Amino acid sequence: MDSHEPGAALPLEALFNNILRALHWHQLPRQQERLQWPLTENRFGPAEDASQARDTFSSWLEASYSRMPVKSIWLMGSEAQDFCTPIPLESQVVEWQKARLISMPSLSQLLRAPELKRPLWNLLRTSYPTETRAE
């Protein structure tokens, strides 16, 4: 899950693909589900406040996870971390059901502030030691 900045012409997909390539995941099959914001663009109807938005997004995440369980979920950016978590985030990596919720900067933040890439890489190395070891 990533925060999105409408109108910002940033190469978000290229950066995401580079991260996947660094983890050697770029050739793995992947399936994406999207929930657009604001909710007025969705069949669920508009959210009236932050609490309702939080309930909607965390419910969507739980339903999506029950359909397609994964080992980890990346919460990229403050909006994803504030509104999409079904549990409180007490650290950068928390366990939820059988998945790890991993908080990290959004792709937009990484492009605007490249100094965030090193701490992200260190987090990924800690979270995925097998995938990130030097060959």
Total number of domains constituting the chain: 1
Has this prediction a pTM greater than 0.85? no
Look up the domain containing 43 and give its range.
36-129
Residue 114 is predicted with a pLDDT of 95
What stretches in the chain show pLDDT beneath 70?
1-9, 32-48, 134-135
Q: What is the pLDDT of residue 42?
A: 53
Q: Tell me if 26 is assigned to some domain.
A: no
Q: Give the residue from 15, 16, 12, 62 showing the smallest Cα distance to 35.
A: 62
User: Is residue 103 included in any domain, yes or no?
Assistant: yes
- 108 within a domain of the structure (yes/no): yes
